[in-house]
Structure 1
């Protein structure tokens, strides 16, 4: 029996999942970012070997829905074989994406892999470590029942680990409510550690017993920012003594905001943007950054920024190319404002025309037109798409953006390039 050991808990690998917002860029960039999840997985395997982990727990969604290329499966099996060579066992369950994957059940695993069946929860015992690992795979993509309710009782005198893919109450966020359960239920079940999957943000829902979502190993879009990786669980005397988050992501998604308030010319704007970019690059370590940059503040450059978003993006990309870290620009959002006039109503023709544009934007006619367009879009959206989120964004931004663009086009500015 080994009194002290460390195991690795990971989930939501989503191997070969595209990085949304980057994968549609130039072919060379698409190729590089397309390998991000694989490089993150390689780091996971390296870490387990370096830490001499006796076992690894994979809590579901190893693959990303319908596996598009059988080579993703071969790549995963190669990683399992590397762990086998280091004497490391792997306990894994199928999550909702795996259950929807036509290749998942066809994979023939190496003998170090213990994959839980989908028909009922069951237990694997490691008598040398005195560890009992309990789990159940998803039988299908949409699992509405409480799987945790059928998990076995804890094995006496063993360190008990429950592996579950779930949107546990209080931890689901925007994730679909698959295999719902309550935190109280898990805490009272009698296990020492619950290795959860499905939620892509790292969360420690409880300590002693520990109930943990490690998050995904590679952010897939600008919604999944910050450090992404795995959790190392240190066990001594049958008790969890510590948790360590280890970043294994190859590309880190970040938000950056630049306040251009008071920037009256291109040089001032460039300086403000460069300062933010350099600060973000300093946090990258050896990671690449996928950046969404938001320009805010009240500035006389607003009209040109709004009129020429492509030119603004190109200027930011040029600045990013000079940084020490690799920064891939996902989007530049211009949310600046024109300076407020210091005088009263503008009686000129241009002033009256601007007032009419604002009135049209606030009128019911435009709102009704937007709703008709949204109705047409809804009929064309695929099942399961987040239409409500899209509709809310359109209602919030399209009308205001159209009015702003019209006013900015009417504005008279010297020159045509905001940042050059």
Structure 2
């Protein structure tokens, strides 16, 4: 007997794409449906591939969303599966438990939502398959709930659906429902369908223990392809595991080497080439671009002193390209061309040496923290604020030193022309 199922997780329907929607009303309108479009891609893939059923390992909705229309959209997509004769097995994750609508949705008959009080085992008639799962009763589930999952059913292909921060794979995710790979392997199931961690990961292959990742990247730390996993089983053995890309807006981090570039035109040509390649690699999807410039160039001080000019030029470049692109972030980490190691006796040379040799991190971090404390009081509460503050803490000292050195370089360049 051969069958297929689709494993997805972390839909986060209608979650905003952080860093994009606030920058352009026009672009916000284009990316507003990104999570819904990605989910519709998933439903169509499930039907087109002839999957027998689908498992979704939690975080269908987003915790801070309060729009009931999102739930109605999800219900409508489940009805599409029902019309195609496809069953769905869902668990509610930490974001769903936080959302006041998730537990109140009235699903079609093909959908089973696992109980939040205890783990359940649901057999699929005619296929010798048992699906095991448990929903989160509240957001903060800190105990190892996988220990309580039912024993494997003899003679069945057993699937465990679990929303978890499995040890070693947590990344930046909260440590909810912790477990270990060894524990899951020893539980006796044939496949563990995990959710919660947004990066794709195959933690084990016998049995398969897999995070499919989320369907649609939501911020600059969720770069690269996003989608779901199709699993083919024959005679009780997994014979194929295939990841499919379903995202509609892709976050990409591009490094462009400015070494030897003597004009802004040359630099922009290199940026164009990098974006063209990224677009081709992404299958011509819309791209949210994080651009980092590296290398040694005589343009270094100009790039640091007037970053807005470069940003405007890159934005203008993107507008001329055949595709849907947005410059989400531009970071300049270039350097001036190397100079001989001899000490420069000039005032600016001695000042540059002091700036380079002085470890200013502690001082600057103190200044940064005092400013952040003031900013924090004015920001609305949110889970993403801390990531913003951490980026400022890590980048501010080095950027201040680089800017100071660039000002010296610019002064020397100006003096040389008089």
Cα distance change of structure 1 residues 167 and 384 upon mapping to structure 2, 3 Å threshold: farther
Partner of residue 231, structure 1: 229
Cα distance change of structure 1 residues 314 and 346 upon mapping to structure 2, 3 Å threshold: same
Moved more, 104-113 or 365-374: 365-374
Partner of residue 164, structure 1: 162
Moved more, 265-274 or 115-124: 265-274
TM-superposed deviation, 1:301? 0.5
Secondary structure of residue in 1 paired with 2:333: strand
Counterpart pick for 1:11 among 9, 12, 16: 9
Aligned length: 414
Contact kept? 2:251, 2:288, Cα under 8 Å: yes
In 1, the alpha carbon distance for the partners of 2:18 and 2:409 equals: 35
Once the two structures are superposed, the pairs formed by residues 98-177 of structure 1 within 5 Å of their partners are 98-177=96-175
Deviation above 6 Å: which 4+ runs of structure 1? 378-384, 413-416
Moved more, 396-405 or 193-202: 396-405
Partner of residue 267, structure 1: 265
Secondary structure of residue in 2 paired with 1:298: coil
Cα RMSD over matched residues? 2.6
TM-superposed deviation, 1:256? 0.5
Moved more, 318-327 or 67-76: 318-327
Partner of residue 408, structure 1: 406
Counterpart pick for 1:303 among 301, 324, 345: 301
Cα distance change of structure 1 residues 202 and 334 upon mapping to structure 2, 3 Å threshold: same
In 1, the alpha carbon distance for the partners of 2:34 and 2:238 equals: 31
Partner of residue 82, structure 1: 80
Query: Which blocks of at least 5 consecutive residues in structure 1 are unaligned?
Result: none
In 1, the alpha carbon distance for the partners of 2:19 and 2:403 equals: 24
Secondary structure of residue in 2 paired with 1:337: coil
In 2, the alpha carbon distance for the partners of 1:170 and 1:397 equals: 27
Counterpart pick for 1:41 among 39, 42, 64: 39
Deviations 1:399-419 (A, max 9, x none): 232233234345448999xxx
In 2, the alpha carbon distance for the partners of 1:364 and 1:50 equals: 58
Moved more, 333-342 or 358-367: 358-367
Partner of residue 329, structure 1: 327
Cα distance change of structure 1 residues 382 and 116 upon mapping to structure 2, 3 Å threshold: same
The two structures have a TM-score, normalised by structure 2, of 0.91
Counterpart pick for 2:23 among 22, 25, 29: 25
Partner of residue 50, structure 1: 48
In 1, the alpha carbon distance for the partners of 2:317 and 2:217 equals: 24
Contact kept? 1:303, 1:413, Cα under 8 Å: no
TM-superposed deviation, 1:177? 1.1
TM-superposed deviation, 1:362? 3.2
Moved more, 62-71 or 140-149: 62-71
Contact kept? 2:279, 2:285, Cα under 8 Å: no
TM-superposed deviation, 1:382? 7.1
In 2, the alpha carbon distance for the partners of 1:322 and 1:141 equals: 45
Partner of residue 279, structure 2: 281
TM-superposed deviation, 1:196? 0.7
Contact kept? 2:15, 2:65, Cα under 8 Å: no
In 2, the alpha carbon distance for the partners of 1:190 and 1:363 equals: 51
Contact kept? 2:167, 2:179, Cα under 8 Å: yes
Deviations 1:22-42 (A, max 9, x none): 111211111111111000000
In 1, the alpha carbon distance for the partners of 2:409 and 2:403 equals: 10
Contact kept? 1:304, 1:413, Cα under 8 Å: no
